[in-house]
Structure 1
Amino acid sequence: MGTSSADLLPATFPAFAISQTPSTPKHEIDYMEYVDSVLADNEAFIQIAKNMFVVNGWDDKKGRSKNTWYHIQRSTIGREYFYVCTCPNSNQDDSCVHEYLLKNYGDELFPNDSDLSEVILFSRQLEMNELDYLNYFSCPSPNMRGLRGRVIVTYTGLDDGSGLWKCLKDPLACGHKGVCRSKFFQLVQSNPDAADSGGVDNETFPKIRNASGVERSVSYRQRPPPIWASLPSDPLFERIPPIKFPPRYLPLSEGSSCCCRATDRLAFRSGDTTKEQTAIVYGLTEFFAVTVQVQSCSCKYRFIGPDCANLGIFNLNNKVLFTHEILDEYTSAYTTSETPFSAWIVTMERRYTFHSVGAQSFCSPAIFRSAWFAYARLQYLDGDMQCVKCGPSPENTIWDGVTLAFNKKHLLPSLEPPTISQPTSIIRNTTLYVPDQKLMPDTPSRKLVQKVVNGPPIKPVAPSGVEHEGDSDSAVEDDNAGDDEGGEHRPKLPKGAQQILERLEAVPKAVARLAGTNPPLSRLFDRHFGIDCVYRGIKAPDVYKRLFIQISAEESVLQMANGSALEVLQIFVKDPNRMNATALIDIPVLHEVLVYEFDNNGGALPTDLIEVCIWILEKGNAVLHTLKKDIQPLKAAEGPVQEKPWMEVSFSLYRTGCCYGMPKVRERPAYPKLKYDTKLDAGGKRGAKCSKFYSQYGERKLTGGIMCAWCTHSICYGFHCIPKGEGRNDVFSALVTRWESAPKRVVYDFACALGPYCMTREPAFFADTQFVIDDFHSTGHSKCAPAAFLKTYCAVDPRLRYINTSAGECGNSGISRIRKSVSYTSQDRAIVYTKVFLSIWNRQIIRGMGV
């Protein structure tokens, strides 16, 4: 029987009377226009599941819909309702018109009477030629559930599937199109078995220093940041308008000084002899010859000269000067796209040739590099390593190691990452490794459960000597039966059949072993995965599959349920009702299975499931108590912690390579009883149980790159240079030394091992912190359990959509613009170059926030 297009589309919106005073966004008029348009059926607002919707984008300027599509999800957490939309107008601070409409009229328009299916054909429209149809699908991602996993796929063409397929998330090639094509055939061609048949579209190097050592300049007064990167929070600077022609004579004045290496600058002496010398001022399109008044300095080889800040000129050495515009021009160029100094110099040479009447040439690359670094040292680029929305200590932090490295031969003793303990550091003599932190310490039990839950599907198989009706399609094909006359040996089976048989044999063994671990857990497992379910062909619900995958995980129970989550679980086991169950969003596997049982069993919970929750609670509290035993909580140091500034100039430049937007609050503690405390993760393979391999961090002849901290708005909160190789210690030490209290969530590509590392050392400090892997890196962690992935938490708490897990990768992508330039610079210059880039990056984002 065919399926008409009407059967594929949602029902039209019912007529209703608005019986409540709606909450409205800032632009009330635009919102009400949107409501009117939706109620008139001019805009699409389609419910595809009880808590999932598809909507058109809305143009509030033109008062009409856009040809864009977004998903919106509503969820209940405790007593509160939350609405999260994927459209660009929705953010953590303001709701979009879609969210407001759902908030005001959702109960009347969209009752909770459906459930989320896999692929949904939510719109089907006949095109102008009356032959082709435009079909819209909402499709989940195979490795991501909930709001973050839904994408829009379109198909335009005939009903034979030969037309144009597009995924609005990945226009080039993705698996979503193949899945939707299969669903299309099933619906439109009424073929329930249809499937897509088309293709889916340490060496030692001598440490060296430059002879000049430090970029010291005659100009020394602080300069403002470029006007296009200034912030309202910056100090008030006197900005000099761009100069077309500099003064021909630059005299000495009060405040003029020398650029020698003396601790205090030697100032101009009004009574002493002066002289004039010729100098060059380089501008954007040409240079100018000027006369500079100078005075001999006691250093004997340099001169005291004018600062020229009030003229918009930067005086490098009384012979070569630059306008502020040209120096800011290079800053703009290299922070926008990959622009090494050498390439930019060539551009300036050509520009000079084009604009100059005479034969003028630009200065040498070495001179310009020295001038720019000296100028960057004077520019005010402070106060920008903090997000105006996330505050001084962001709740959600994203960490990422970046292969932004310079040559090891430039490595200086001044580099001082936070991983180094100091003489004033706390000594943790009682900190030891704590074994048996898993929910199921017994390895054979875990392997049996994993074999049953993760193995191939088991079809009904007859017990020995019994033949079931219709058992011709048995899981085991005994083609070699009778080959052994005595029947003493099992016939040789195909590999797939052998795996199924082994899994079948593992079922009763797993049930028996679980009985020794926790009898209610064994009964729960038997109810959904036992032999009786196999013979009856009952497939276990996915929520129980995820639950037992997590319970049998080879990781600490605290990864599944941290300290704050255990407190919420304690509330639930005392009063196991639905409201308390929905509050368990920090233990997603329990949240899902409990809500599933409430929704499918008339509001009742299996007693065994409650007993399992109690068992998890007791095990988690026991592990946490053992870790905290005899460990005093970390406290911020009394008074300021002495810290070398990231850039300090005295007789020599001392740059520690550690630059964070918050002050140092304590030193990194020392743990003498932990054998491998400060050792690097060997060979770049960070953790034996995690298959994620990082080979590029050990690039030959280069240092270990930098570790960056980001907030969800892609603001960099700081970085430090890594001398040799990235490891868990880099994130741990930065958090401990800069954060007064640990953030709620740490997103890191190696979070599966970072969590145990941090909890072993500072369990009280990190007790309530979630350590999760971002979406981008999750595919490489094939052995990690669901609790290690942020997408697992997003599936039950759509508010986490606002966590930009790609913040680190976005920053990494931006930093790639300077990777080549940094690779051949010295340590001091590499640090300045990186700091300026990240400050400009942050300032552009902050300016875009409009606050």
Structure 2
Amino acid sequence: MSVMIYKQNFALHDKARKVYYRPTVGDCSCRYNFDGQDYLLFNLDNKRFFYYGLLFNYLHLMIEGRNPLIAYQRSLHRTYTCFGESTTPSIHFLRRAWYAFSRLLAIPIDDSFACESCGPCPEIIVCDGTMIGMRKDLMMPMNDLDESKLVPVKGSLHSDRVLIKTARARYLLLQYSCFKRDRKPVACPQKLTDKEFKQLTEILHSDGFVALEKLLLKIEDQHQERLAPVPYRKFLSEIARNSPACGMVQIAGCKQACDVLKRIANRSIDVFLPENACHWSLLSENAPVISSFLLLCQKHCSSGIPQEVFDLLSHILVTIQAPFKISEPDKCHYPEPSEANKFSYFPSLPQLHGNAVYQIDKSRLSTANDVCNKRSSKHPALTPGIFTIYCPHAICYGFEVLKECESPRHPFQIFKTRFPKPPKIVVYDNACGLHQYCLNREPIFFQKTSFFCGPISLERAYRLPI
């Protein structure tokens, strides 16, 4: 029988060879075929044999140098060609040999998807999608969830989470603060007209934001101009955004920080006194936006921080805690874990329950409230990619094949259905949209989770000081 033997680069004299079988002992007519094991040869299909050293060589190149298989095959072809050989293994047979060989390796794959430092359920998550698509026609259909038997879960409302509910008031206040929407100061700020300032205060009064209305009127009496003083500009620009107050100041899950802010608003403690340094440190760590604002007011206000500022802080604290005043959903709202999902792999995070049905998804406001979605286009034949989650030590905890374009729904479903308790910190390039998505559906579950976003890569996220 003629066979082809492929060895390492330094053993290029091997060409097609003839091998023989030998009869077995006994009366039967069975025969013992050549399998190559005595010569450290891996038998692919009884016609092609690969030297184990060649396969192990690629194994170490893949691990240490991240070499793809096609690059290894090209290097073999060039090396063989330099020595006048034409028996280079094709990429087709080399791939088959590698896949068959890798199945024989005793690799604890499940153990490699967990970090020794973070444990089976990490508290800090770095997640993102990658564009590694697969053919859509090869995906097996999955049974859809029967939503008629589930009671919809009610989340919080966007109007209860923002400080200023009217878009016109937010626009005027942002102009008054001398900042742009991208958080950059305006080079040549324009003052509000008397009509615009009056309109701003009237809207604030009608929306129930009397604390901010009184502060703006006090500033006007003191400075006689329609531009915010320097100490107030940055803080007022943050209030003017259409973002949740609990996102601007992420202290809803920290009872100690909320108590400190409440005592500051009630003027029961002075955080600038040396004996209250621990309270100031706690506020600076958990609410840097407020601590920076109070520090600027303390430095620039000669007569002390106005009472209207403390009233404003009280209103902000109430708005921060508003989304979490609802009751936690019962277990009956969540279905049993679905059938084994062949398109997701989380060895240390098995599915605890299925995906619930949410009231906001039943309403027409779902698309309007779930803002900050990524803009992406679909491939006609390939899936959008896979969604991965990592710990800060660059250990992948699993992945899920994206059947649709990436959106905040994918990390939300992973955290809610697989994590017994939510992570404390989530780093995601669309964290603003993910935070809104979570508050619309499961505000209680994600109350103690802090979301961080930015145009960062996974490599930079691993080195964040968190």
Secondary structure of 2:345's aligned partner: strand
- 1:685-719 superposed Cα distances (whole Å, 9 cap, x missing partner): x97854x7533x52443211111112223332221
1:439 aligned partner = 163
Secondary structure of 1:736's aligned partner: helix
Q: 1:642 to 1:729 in 2, by over 3 A?
A: closer
Q: 1:389 to 1:312 in 2, by over 3 A?
A: farther
1:476 aligned partner = none
**In 2: Cα distance, 1:306 partner to 1:531 partner:** 99
Equivalent residues in 2 for 1:9-88 (5 A)? none
Which structure carries more strand by proportion? 1
Report how far residue 292 of structure 1 moved: 7.5
Structure 1 residue aligned with 2:197, among 497, 507, 521?
A: 507
The question of whether the paired residues in 2 share the 8 Å contact of 1:507 and 1:531 is answered with no
Report how far residue 412 of structure 1 moved: 1.8
Q: 1:607 to 1:614 in 2, by over 3 A?
A: same
Report how far residue 406 of structure 1 moved: 2.8
**In 2: Cα distance, 1:421 partner to 1:588 partner:** 45
The question of whether the paired residues in 2 share the 8 Å contact of 1:746 and 1:770 is answered with yes
Q: Does 1:557 align with 2:245?
A: yes
**In 1: Cα distance, 2:381 partner to 2:392 partner:** 33
2:124 aligned partner = 396
Matched letter for residue 258 of structure 2: L
Report how far residue 440 of structure 1 moved: 1.9
Q: Does 1:582 align with 2:281?
A: yes
Secondary structure of 1:766's aligned partner: coil
Report how far residue 531 of structure 1 moved: 6.7
Secondary structure of 1:731's aligned partner: helix
The question of whether the paired residues in 1 share the 8 Å contact of 2:204 and 2:212 is answered with yes
**In 1: Cα distance, 2:260 partner to 2:80 partner:** 73
Secondary structure of 1:454's aligned partner: coil
2:213 aligned partner = 522
Aligned residues: 430
1:370 aligned partner = 96
Which structure carries more helix by proportion? 2
Q: 1:753 to 1:333 in 2, by over 3 A?
A: same
**In 2: Cα distance, 1:704 partner to 1:755 partner:** 23
The structure whose RCO (Cα within 8 Å, separation 6+) is larger is 2
Structure 2's unaligned 5+ residue stretches are: 25-30, 181-186, 272-277
- 1:527-569 superposed Cα distances (whole Å, 9 cap, x missing partner): 55x375354998422xx32322222221223323443146522
Matched letter for residue 281 of structure 2: T
The question of whether the paired residues in 2 share the 8 Å contact of 1:405 and 1:705 is answered with yes
Matched letter for residue 133 of structure 2: A
The question of whether the paired residues in 1 share the 8 Å contact of 2:124 and 2:425 is answered with yes
Equivalent residues in 2 for 1:275-354 (5 A)? 279-285=3-9, 286=12, 287=14, 289=17, 291=19, 313-333=41-61, 341-354=69-82
| TM-score normalized with structure 2 length | 0.76
**In 2: Cα distance, 1:603 partner to 1:310 partner:** 92
Q: 1:392 to 1:612 in 2, by over 3 A?
A: same
Secondary structure of 1:719's aligned partner: strand
Report how far residue 731 of structure 1 moved: 0.8
Q: Percent identity among equivalent residues?
A: 21
**In 2: Cα distance, 1:384 partner to 1:725 partner:** 28
Report how far residue 400 of structure 1 moved: 0.9
Q: 1:291 to 1:310 in 2, by over 3 A?
A: closer
2:435 aligned partner = 755
- Structure of greater Rg: 1
Q: Does 1:619 align with 2:319?
A: yes
2:28 aligned partner = none
Secondary structure of 1:374's aligned partner: helix
Equivalent residues in 2 for 1:23-172 (5 A)? none
**In 2: Cα distance, 1:729 partner to 1:361 partner:** 51
Deviating more after overlay: 561-570 vs 749-758: 561-570
Q: 1:338 to 1:385 in 2, by over 3 A?
A: closer
Structure 2 residue aligned with 1:736, among 402, 416, 422?
A: 416
Report how far residue 583 of structure 1 moved: 1.2
**In 1: Cα distance, 2:49 partner to 2:216 partner:** 78
C-alpha RMSD of the superposition: 4.3
Matched letter for residue 412 of structure 1: M
Secondary structure of 1:445's aligned partner: helix
Q: 1:526 to 1:291 in 2, by over 3 A?
A: farther
Matched letter for residue 323 of structure 1: Y
**In 2: Cα distance, 1:406 partner to 1:291 partner:** 41
**In 2: Cα distance, 1:278 partner to 1:693 partner:** 57
**In 2: Cα distance, 1:631 partner to 1:701 partner:** 40
Report how far residue 740 of structure 1 moved: 1.5
Report how far residue 278 of structure 1 moved: 5.3
Secondary structure of 1:321's aligned partner: strand
The question of whether the paired residues in 2 share the 8 Å contact of 1:406 and 1:702 is answered with yes
The question of whether the paired residues in 2 share the 8 Å contact of 1:453 and 1:549 is answered with yes
Matched letter for residue 669 of structure 1: N
| TM-score normalized with structure 1 length | 0.44
Matched letter for residue 694 of structure 1: R
Structure 1's unaligned 5+ residue stretches are: 1-276, 297-302, 457-495, 647-655, 778-802, 810-851
Report how far residue 737 of structure 1 moved: 2.7
Q: 1:718 to 1:337 in 2, by over 3 A?
A: same
Equivalent residues in 2 for 1:411-490 (5 A)? 411-413=138-140, 427-431=150-154, 434-437=157-160, 438-454=162-178
**In 1: Cα distance, 2:333 partner to 2:369 partner:** 30
2:385 aligned partner = 705
1:629 aligned partner = 327
Matched letter for residue 308 of structure 2: D
Q: Does 1:593 align with 2:293?
A: yes
**In 2: Cα distance, 1:424 partner to 1:306 partner:** 59
**In 1: Cα distance, 2:23 partner to 2:306 partner:** 91
**In 2: Cα distance, 1:642 partner to 1:519 partner:** 50
**In 2: Cα distance, 1:616 partner to 1:738 partner:** 33
Structure 1 residue aligned with 2:401, among 698, 710, 721?
A: 721
- 1:768-810 superposed Cα distances (whole Å, 9 cap, x missing partner): 1122212438xxxxxxxxxxxxxxxxxxxxxxxxx9654499x
**In 2: Cα distance, 1:425 partner to 1:313 partner:** 59
**In 2: Cα distance, 1:660 partner to 1:341 partner:** 26
Report how far residue 311 of structure 1 moved: 7.2
Deviating more after overlay: 372-381 vs 724-733: 372-381
- 1:712-739 superposed Cα distances (whole Å, 9 cap, x missing partner): 2333222111123211111111212332
**In 2: Cα distance, 1:426 partner to 1:591 partner:** 48
Q: 1:764 to 1:576 in 2, by over 3 A?
A: same
**In 2: Cα distance, 1:363 partner to 1:624 partner:** 63
